[in-house]
Amino acid sequence: MLKQLFNSFIRKFNISFCMQKLTAFPYHQDRDKAFNSLVKLGDYSVKELASYLMDKERRELVSEVLEKIGSEESARVLINSAVSGDIYWQKVLNKRLSAIGKPAVLPLLHGLYTKNRNIQILSAEVLGKIQDKRSIEGLIKALDYADDRVMVSVIDSLGELRATESIEKLLNLLSGYSNEIQKTTIKRVLSEIGSPCVNEILKALTGTDITFKKCLIEILGNINDKRTISPLIEYLKSSDENFSTPAIEALGKKPEALAIIIEGLKDENSIFRKNCASVMSKLLSVDTVDILVKACRDKDEEVACNAIMALGAIGDKRAGQNLMELLKTKNYSHAKIVIEALYRMSDKAISPLIKSLSDRDSDVRDRASRALIKIGPKVIIPLIETLKNGDSLIKERVTYIFNELGPSAIPDLIKLLSEEDENLINFATDILISQSYRCNAPLWYLQKVILENPHWPVKKRAIKIISSTGVRYLETLFKFLNYREEPYRELACQAISDMGPSVIPQFLELCRNSKVDFPEYISKTFSYMGPSSISELLKYLQDEHDIVRRYTAGGITLMGPSAIKPLCRIIDTEKEPGNKQKLMMVLIELLRNYRPKDKKLTTSDVDSLRLGIELIRNYRKTCGRSLFSRFSVDWGKGAEKMLVDIMKESPKDIIIFMEDDDKPGEREIEIIDI
């Protein structure tokens, strides 16, 4: 007795000492010695080690020791530690118990009957992995009392064990109340058990529950057994889609049924023929092409349509060729199915479809276009290549396709802006403009081109596209007017002016509400719009914002002689004295600031200048010289003489003058007769 107590004390001391070494020196050679010592002690150490499983820092090392001991007792201790439900710890225990193997079976079966759900789930999962037939009876009994989650694990393990004894029980569960997860698991497990299930399933098919029978048909489709084909063929003849649809799916997994299905295409029953064609589309056999081509001309509409879809699913070259022929059909219902079938062929159909874009028959061109649109972005590059050598008819169809493809085509269209081929550039520009009206997607890409592309011609094309959308992207262009780099400001200036006078109200509203770092570009933008914008700009000469008045007046003065005639017409028709005086001031400012480019004047410029000066002289007679005195400037003698001779006016009546920066002998202005 004393000896036993002494030995027990020594063992406890050794276990405690080994545990200290095991945890204190995890990477030292003493760790291995301590580990092996605990394993040698076997079940004597198990009870002592059990308490360490509650310590999260030590429990993984302890579980490894218990795994190496590999006894029923060590398995039982590990199972009992699953009470907490810690997911990570459950995975560790699953691994340890599976490694222990058969000695763990009885403790695990006992675990199935505990009241702790976490232990039940762990036990059910591990029993399936150990692959011991002793587990089957206990697992089947557990189906009677397990909750939903535990039941799924139990069913899974029965499947891993290929437990034929459970077939009847599982079929009963499938026919009764069970949730979708359980049903899915049962169907998979019965499919894994395979051929031994067939007779029981065929008996169960005599029942009346529709949902249950659909599940059974699905299981038969997953079992590789010739006995399943005949009953599935019978359901293929059913007019009830609850049965025919799962039968189609099931037979589609059975290449050995092909001969029967081919014969079925000749059957008098149109429903059977239709369903056989559907099955053939799933069997994907190249050998069936000729049979399907004949079925495409079946007098029954649904049989023909299913045969067409089957050709698309087969997708080989011969199937594609026959579908392209069917694209010419006069039956519009068939044509719609052909388009869908070609879409399913995807890459394989692109080349023949593109060729059909130039077909003489407009219906064929239209159907080919719709099929390419359904295929999607994969068609973009081949279409661009076709466009390089295509005629106007091809371009028309390709344009339609790109417009329908929408944003997915934008990145490739943006790349075309860098091409040298003007036709490709114009094509991309037109599509991008069209897309810009539909959505904002092109804007991001166009802004990226403007900011990142190193080539200014490409930047200009991008700006042009943005400006072509009108006020939609006006705010984006306005931001470029504040860029530090002058070329960006110039591009934006030109782009906004291209939008025309209709954009002036919105543009000025942005000027009022936004910071303007380079105000001279506002006036410059207006000047680029040309004389057609004058009447709109003059509306803002009385605006309450001084900056708006200056921008609009400045825009007119920068237009030069081209603005004189329309401005003079407006002045002539103005009756209100105050307004007329403001208009005259604009005209005077225009003349005063005008500088002939390269010291050259066209005859048209001279006519405009003469008209403006004449108007000012007549107006001065009514209001006196004081209005004009501050606009007098000293301009070169050579220029003065030339202008006086041309205009037959005295210097005091001429308001436009160049700065006297001429060098000796260069004081001349050349008049170009155009």
pLDDT tens column, 59-118: 888 888 888 888 888 888 888 888 777 888 889 889 989 998 899 899 999 988 888 889
pLDDT of residue 658: 40
Structure confidence at residue 507 as a pLDDT band (50, 70, 90): confident
pLDDT of residue 196: 92
**Residue pair 472/499 in contact by the 8 Å Cβ criterion:** no
Q: Which of 200, 144, 194 is nearest to 173 (CA)?
A: 144
**Residue pair 151/140 in contact by the 8 Å Cβ criterion:** no
pLDDT of residue 371: 80
Report CA-CA distances (Å) from 574 to 577, 583, 584, 642.
Answer: 8, 9, 11, 33
Q: Averaged over 117-132, what is the pLDDT?
A: 90
Mean pLDDT is highest, among 32-41, 128-137, 353-362, 493-502, for 128-137
In whole angstroms, what is the distance from residue 63 CA to residue 61 CA? 5
- pLDDT, one tens digit per residue, over 305-329 is 777 776 666 666 666 666 666 666 6
**Average pLDDT, whole number, for the chain?**
77
Helix (H) / strand (E) element for 600: namely strand 600-602
Structure confidence at residue 368 as a pLDDT band (50, 70, 90): confident
pLDDT of residue 22: 62
Q: Pick the more confident residue, 639 or 376.
A: 376
Report CA-CA distances (Å) from 156 to 184, 196, 221, 235.
Answer: 11, 17, 20, 29
Tokens of 255: 């290449």
pLDDT of residue 498: 85
Q: Which of 532, 541, 580, 581 is nearest to 559 (CA)?
A: 532
Structure confidence at residue 646 as a pLDDT band (50, 70, 90): very low
- pLDDT, one tens digit per residue, over 232-252 is 888 888 888 888 888 888 888
Structure confidence at residue 30 as a pLDDT band (50, 70, 90): low
Tokens of 20: 């200290």
Tokens of 535: 């009447």
pLDDT of residue 24: 60
Tokens of 417: 């802006």
The amino acid present at 396, given as its one-letter code, is E
Percent of the chain with pLDDT over 90: 4
**Residue pair 38/45 in contact by the 8 Å Cβ criterion:** yes
**pLDDT beyond 80 at 643:** no
Structure confidence at residue 145 as a pLDDT band (50, 70, 90): confident
Q: Tell me, letter by letter, the H, E, C secondary structure of 346-410.
A: CHHHHHHHHHHCCCCCHHHHHHHHHHHHHHCHHHHHHHHHHHHHCCHHHHHHHHHHHHHHHHHHH
Structure confidence at residue 655 as a pLDDT band (50, 70, 90): very low
The amino acid present at 337, given as its one-letter code, is I
**pLDDT beyond 60 at 404:** yes
CA atoms in the 13 A half-sphere facing the CB of 74: 28
Q: Write down the domain spans for the chain.
A: 563-598+610-625+637-673
**pLDDT beyond 60 at 649:** no
Structure confidence at residue 631 as a pLDDT band (50, 70, 90): very low
**Residue pair 340/309 in contact by the 8 Å Cβ criterion:** yes
**pLDDT beyond 80 at 572:** yes
In whole angstroms, what is the distance from residue 650 CA to residue 641 CA? 10
Report CA-CA distances (Å) from 643 to 13, 280, 669.
Answer: 123, 93, 8
What DSSP character marks residue 52?
A: G
CA 396 to centroid of chain Cα atoms: 27
In whole angstroms, what is the distance from residue 16 CA to residue 583 CA? 107
pLDDT of residue 40: 74
pLDDT of residue 673: 34
Residues facing 601 on adjacent strands: 671
In whole angstroms, what is the distance from residue 156 CA to residue 361 CA? 59
Structure confidence at residue 419 as a pLDDT band (50, 70, 90): confident
pLDDT of residue 665: 41
> Strand, coil or helix: what is 574?
coil
Sequence-distant (6+) residues with CB within 8 A of 596 are: 605, 658, 669
In whole angstroms, what is the distance from residue 53 CA to residue 79 CA? 11
Other Cβ atoms less than 10 A from the Cβ of 164: the count is 15
Other Cβ atoms less than 10 A from the Cβ of 481: the count is 26
Sequence-distant (6+) residues with CB within 8 A of 640 are: 651, 654, 657
pLDDT of residue 106: 92
Residues facing 600 on adjacent strands: 670
- Three-point CA angle 383, 284, 318, nearest 5°: 50
Tokens of 256: 């050995």
The amino acid present at 278, given as its one-letter code, is S
Backbone angles phi, psi at 520, to 5 degrees: -60, -25
Exposure letters 184-194 (e unless 16+ CB within 10 A, then b): ebbbebbbbbe
Q: Averaged over 120-138, what is the pLDDT?
A: 90
Q: Averaged over 320-339, what is the pLDDT?
A: 66
- pLDDT, one tens digit per residue, over 587-607 is 887 877 777 665 566 777 778
